[in-house]
Amino acid sequence: MDPTAGGRRRQQRGLRRAGQILDAAEELVAAAGVEAVGMNAVARHAGVSPGTLYQYFPHKRALVDGLSRRFAEDLRAETSGTPRLLAGRGGEGAESALDGVLRRVLTLAEARPALLPLLCGTGFTGEPNMLFRSLAARLAPLLGEGAADELATRFLVQGVAVALRCDDPDARTVVLERTRAAILGAVRASTCRDSS
């Protein structure tokens, strides 16, 4: 008999329970927003006691961070094959890569409604929240390095957030076109700065 089998089963059960709690939190956040969701509501929705919830997530910030990490991993998987915009700065290569990133981020956000409230909220001390920082960190290598490229990343994240708030498909298209133009402008500005 393998003495470590019981430990592995407990670990797998714990991972499933944490996933169950995050699933419940994601559903509630999608329906009501981050601020409106309390820990007791998450415990009820997950079918666990508040004590069990607090064993996995000792406070709301830890729960929100767990959701943010989940979305950041999903985004990493969605954008893993996207070429860097640096490879084609200013040309069709940059535009094609950017279109791919925008499409993938928007698709993920549409499929996971809790992404928008998590993305648009601020952290517990007023700074950009963990998900925003995670997304920006993930997208920065696609866009490049430096201040102008950090600005392009912020345009992308905020543009997708604004586009998702648009119920009208035409308005959404306008927002995405403007977001695309702003990002390409930041990338081109960085190119001009680097070449001078």
Q: What is the pLDDT of residues 88-146, one digit of tens each?
A: 444 556 677 778 778 887 888 888 888 877 776 655 555 556 666 666 666 666 566 66
Those residues with Cβ within 8 angstroms of residue 191's Cβ, 6 or more apart along the chain or in another chain: 89, 90
Which neighbouring-strand residues pair with 122? 128
Sequence ranges of the domains in the chain: 5-58, 67-195
pLDDT of residue 26: 94
Residue 30 structure tokens: 């999608």
The SS3 call for residue 135 is helix
Q: What is the pLDDT of residues 13-45, one digit of tens each?
A: 888 999 999 999 999 999 988 888 999 999 999
Phi/psi zone of residue 153: left (φ > 0), alpha (ψ -120 to 50 degrees), beta? Answer: alpha
pLDDT of residue 89: 46
How far apart, in whole angstroms, are the C-alpha atoms of residue 173 and residue 125?
A: 33
**pLDDT bucket at 49, cuts 50 / 70 / 90:** very high
CATH 1.10.8.620 fits 5-58, yes or no: no
Q: What is the pLDDT of residues 155-182, one digit of tens each?
A: 887 888 888 888 898 999 999 999 989 8
Quote the strand ranges of the chain, DSSP E. none
